[in-house]
Structure 1
């Protein structure tokens, strides 16, 4: 409880009382006179003395060795694709093969002549030096793919000998078809249409 300092109104003696005595009548222990307790001062509580902090023990050294960090693997730098130069037909070894004509066909493409042409032809060339290729001419562009395409609108089948004659202009396509040297399925008109989209090869 908070202590107060009061003073006797008769003998002016000062003494301490509990704070709950304020406003009450008490008898002065010195002069025995009765007076009403009035507060003339408050005894401040002594400030608490801070306790000294005990030094904290140093952490024990860890006996577990931390493994060294693994070196980060550097991401491989992407190497830009290098487009292989196409060897012209005239510089290729003889005799020329069917693959030579298909591999160089895009170099003979005439975009101005392909306006409105939409052809998708799968070639099946039989016999020695044959194979399968797919020709796509669409939106003024030409694409040659190795391998056949069962979804092609046109499928053409002939021997390697017949194809080489056609490619070199030694055999007319309509004559070859009438003689049964070319077998066509699907959109037959596409075969004749695409012939005008390519230059005659220089061999």
Structure 2
């Protein structure tokens, strides 16, 4: 079926599957979809940092992801700046270990971090007060 577009010329109606957005994402395996999302999350964290939410914070948070998308990242917050690196930090201020999908669910609000901790899905060590505030240091509202 042809219809007039907003630009004033006729355009063929696109099939329904093409209007789903990020259609290339549909052709990835579930593992590739999760890995892409994990990578996107950590790639966007520095830009999503809100320095006004973390005044005076000087810390390194180690995030160890387990499961299908196992990976290690550490987040350095100092001088109102945030830097994310892949790998393990020798002596972080605080650390957390969690399944990669559970971490995405916590960041997107689908899983309560306190419930994850109580259910044994989330293991933490170090400065617990810092970890309780950690998520508020970022605006990741576009995720999930």
Query: Of 167, 188, 199, which residue of structure 1 is paired with 2:107?
Result: 167
Corresponding residue for 2:42? 102
**SS in structure 1 opposite 2:69?**
coil
Aligned-partner Cα distance in 2 for 1:116–1:103: 24
Map Cα deviations across residues 11-50 of structure 1 (whole Å, 9 max, x no partner): xxxxxxxxxxxxxxxxxxxxxxxxxxxxxxxxxxxxxxxx
Q: Which runs of 5+ in 1 are unaligned?
A: 1-89
Whichever of the two has the greater Rg, that structure is 1
Q: CA RMSD in A?
A: 2.0
Q: Which runs of 5+ in 2 are unaligned?
A: 1-20, 27-32
In the alignment, is the contact (CA less than 8 A) between 2:107 and 2:135 conserved in 1? Answer: no
Q: Which has the higher helix share?
A: 2
Aligned residues between the structures = 114
Give 1:145 shift.
0.7
Aligned-partner Cα distance in 1 for 2:126–2:92: 9
TM-score scaled by structure 2? Answer: 0.70
TM-score scaled by structure 1? Answer: 0.51
Give 1:201 shift.
3.3
